[in-house]
Amino acid sequence: MIIILKENADAQQFATLEKWLTDRQMSLHVSKGSHRTILGLIGDTSALDVTLIQQMEIVEGIRRIQEPFKKANRKFHPLDTVIRVKDTVIGDGSCCIIAGPCSVETPEQILTVARSVKNSGAHILRGGAFKPRTSPYSFQGLRAAGIKMLLDAARETGLPVVTEIMDLSQLELFNDVDIIQVGARNMQNFELLHELGHTRKPILLKRGLANTYQELLMSAEHIMNAGNENIILCERGIRTFENHTRNTLDVSAVPALKSLSHLPVIIDPSHAAGIAAFVRPLSRAAVAVGADGLMIEVHNDPQHALCDGSQSLTMPDFAKVAGDIRRFASLRMELES
């Protein structure tokens, strides 16, 4: 971090600032120019309150040099993190397909969808049991019973499963779940992140709807700092002024996050668009831009789905999209090799 002092900074104030910084274990590198003095800080600046320093009377401005995240930082961990879940691999250059219904509704429904998406080429089964819903009058998910149905379908088909946790009181229900999802609305639920850092399960961490890349990586850092480094980042659309789509899919998140961090990045085109007809073109774009995987909503009967039917693909439509994904992924791998 660099601190720029105002011209003719007062010596007494300078001494105070110097002490304040050394009290916080910073070494200082002072560079006096003809007009102004610049302080270079050496040490762990991640916990310094930048805006506070900025308001000290002798301070003209402040500039961060290093990203405030460490364990998630590619600079300190240049090799890609590769996550293994049963026979499936995420982050090795291939494109993993996660598919399933928004909500688990009945044992028959989840099993039907699981078998179908497996046949179409999905590697992991998704299905929600705890559902964050804007309205208290909407279907809130089958909760513990839903987890059980999902795990039964997993056993039957051999697919690993990912499902969302909404509160840490639910954690023991997730013992047999393969990947725990943290939803966009919980991306900064730090108590939850901290607790998930004590497990060793892969965490699928979704970007909040108005969170920056850096904030997403700081949330990953919360989990990693508590001990769990198995994190899959997920871009699922951000909130902008454009309301034609539910959210605005930010495909640049993939090259950006992969340059900043070593963690794998997947894309959820279903939540981003909110419109089933756009899932196919957005899935192609996601593969082309370099995503390590896709998470797609598929339902056996979208018009009767209890949740988010409008963005769900039918099982035959998913088969087509999965075919596209394979073709684009194989072109991508050919061009990279």
Among 105, 178, 221, 268, binds a second copy (CB under 8 A): 221
Backbone phi, then psi, for 227, in 5-degree steps? 125, -10
Asked whether position 206 contacts a second copy by CB under 8 A, the answer is no
* Phi, psi dihedral angles at 3 (to 5 degrees): -115, 125
H/E/C letters for each residue in 144-213?
Answer: HHHHHHHHHHHHHHCCCEEEEECCHHHHHHHCCCCEEEECHHHCCCHHHHHHHCCCCCCEEEECCCCCCH
Helices (H), ranges, 24-94: 50-54
**By CB under 8 A, is residue 78 in contact with a second copy?**
no
By CB under 8 A, tell whether 155 contacts a second copy: no
Which of 113, 129, 153, 286: binder of a second copy (CB under 8 A)? Answer: 286
Size of residue set near a second copy by CB under 8 A = 109
Interface with a second copy (CB under 8 A), residue from 15, 52, 144, 333: 52
Binding residues for a second copy restricted to 26-45, rule: CB under 8 A: 29, 31, 33-35, 38, 40, 42, 44
161 vs 151: CA distance, rounded Å: 7
Would you count residue 84 as binding a second copy (CB under 8 A)? no
Binding segment for a second copy (CB under 8 A), chosen from 80-88, 93-101, 173-181, 237-245, is 237-245
What 3-state class would DSSP assign to 238? strand
Is residue 328 close enough to count as binding a second copy by CB under 8 A? Answer: yes
Nearest distance in Å: CB 41, a second copy: 10
Confirm or reject binding of residue 171 to a second copy (CB under 8 A): no
Footprint of a second copy on 126-145 (CB under 8 A): 132-140
Place of tokens 């899959």: 232
* Sheet containing strand 37-42, strands side by side: 27-32, 37-42, 2-5, 59-63
Q: Which of 18, 20, 77, 199 binds a second copy (CB under 8 A)?
A: 20
Least Å distance, CB 295 to a second copy, is 17
Among 14, 18, 56, 314, binds a second copy (CB under 8 A): 56
Q: How far is the CB of 119 from a second copy (least distance, A)?
A: 20
**Is the CB of residue 291 less than 8 Å from the CB of residue 272?**
no
Report the alpha-carbon angle 300-294-126, nearest 5.
Answer: 45
Q: Is residue 286 within 8 Å of 280, Cβ to Cβ? A: no
Residue 262 binding a second copy, by CB under 8 A: no
Q: How far is the CB of 47 from a second copy (least distance, A)?
A: 5
Q: How far is the CB of 86 from a second copy (least distance, A)?
A: 29
Which helix H or strand E contains 10, and what residues bound it? none
**Residue among 309, 314, 319, 326 that touches a second copy (CB under 8 A):** 309
